A = this chain, B = another copy of it.
Amino acid sequence: MSFTEQEVELLSRQLPLWVEASKVRSAYGKTASYIPELAKAPQHALGIHLIDTTGTAVSSGDCSLSFTMQSISKVFTLILALMDNGEEAVFQKVGMEPTGDNFNSMLKLELVRPGIPFNPLINAGAIAISSLIHGKDSAEKSSRILSFFQALAGNDTLTYDMDVYRSESDTANLNRSMAYLLKDNGVLEGQVEEVLDVYFHHCSIQVTCSDLARMALVLANNGTDPVTGVTLIPRRYVQIAKTFMITCGMYNASGEFAIQVGLPAKSGVSGGILTMVPGRLGIGVVGPALNVKGNSIAGVHLLETISRELDWSLF
């Protein structure tokens, strides 16, 4: 299904105004500080790109901005891990539950048995997922991930932002701590540093809003790229990914996002948000200023506005 006429009319008229109104919120957030490179992003930028299954696209705001996927990549490494290993093997290493804790919390890894990450979209879970990607070494694993992401985005030029990669790797003491705890809990296969190298690489893949929108479109279309007709992901794994995006996609603000927006989504600390209207639209958003939960403050506001105005909640 394509955009409805009413949607096209409303979006072309209102979207720039909504973007302006949401942009104001950037002043109340701040760019991520824990990875030094991310702190350099333009705090007040805000862009959105929407694409429907016919390939029709609408965009507004700062859509030329490149940024790294960060946690958004976790949705697709989860999918690749499922494709590589099947559901049963994956869910022996990560659970299916939201945590209520910060995305980098280790409390439940110590308090709750078995000591597996509660879900694949918190940091601990995504690190466990990185260790499940097939490949003879970290280079091959990273290369397989990058190729998969390129196919999903329909963009052969996707690659790493090596400055962010290095910044991330150099300052990742908390992720290292988490990875060694996972290792001690028997969750991680392989060498910790190799697993982390895979993890830092996929977090550092550089995209624009239109790349995110294309990747989201494949999910919205149940795994088949509507532009090429090629099936990239089995439908069941799309279903799993979308469900996690509802329950855990926006860190420990996922519940609120589900109520105020009602769409499957995944955010990253670079300020990106990937979301979709299932069956119809892929959406990419970027706004580097984050709220206290680590989500784009302007991006969340913009999606709340659009979903409410166009009645897009699944619920």
Contact = CB atoms under 8 A, between A and B. Distances in A.
Interface string A173-187: 110111111011000
A158 interface: no
A106 B110 contact: yes
Interface stretch (A62-70, A253-261, A283-291): A253-261
A177 B184 contact: yes
Contacts of A264: 315
A118 B314 CA distance: 22
Interface string A230-271: 000000000110111011100011111011001010000000
Given A106-B106, A177-B178, A184-B174, A247 B243 contact: no
A27 to B, nearest CB: 23
A246 B245 CA distance: 12
Nearest to A111: B111
A95 interface: yes
A98 interface: yes
A246 to B, nearest CB: 6
A206 interface: no
Contacts of A40: none
Nearest to A98: B98
A305 interface: no
Contacts of A255: 95-98, 118-119, 243-244, 247-248
Contact of A184 (B173, B184, B253): B173
Interface residues of A, number: 47
**Most chain B CB within a 10 A radius of its CB, from A95, A176, A259:** A259
Nearest to A222: B315
A16 interface: no
**Most chain B CB within a 10 A radius of its CB, from A180, A246, A262, A264:** A180
A302 to B, nearest CB: 19
A99 interface: yes
A242 B255 CA distance: 12
B239 A247 contact: no
A98 B254 contact: yes
Interface in A200-244: 239-240, 242-244
A253 B184 CA distance: 24
Leading 10 A-B pairs by shortest Cβ distance: A177-B180, A173-B184, A98-B98, A97-B255, A99-B100, A177-B181, A176-B180, A96-B256, A96-B255, A173-B183
27 contacts: A95-B255, A95-B256, A96-B255, A97-B100, A97-B255, A99-B100, A100-B100, A100-B101, A100-B108, A106-B177, A106-B181, A107-B110, A107-B111, A118-B255, A173-B181, A177-B177, A177-B178, A177-B180, A177-B184, A239-B262, A243-B262, A244-B255, A244-B259, A247-B254, A247-B258, A248-B255, A314-B314
Interface of A: 95-101, 105-108, 110-111, 118-119, 173-174, 176-181, 183-184, 192, 239-240, 242-244, 246-248, 252-256, 258-259, 262, 264, 278, 313-315
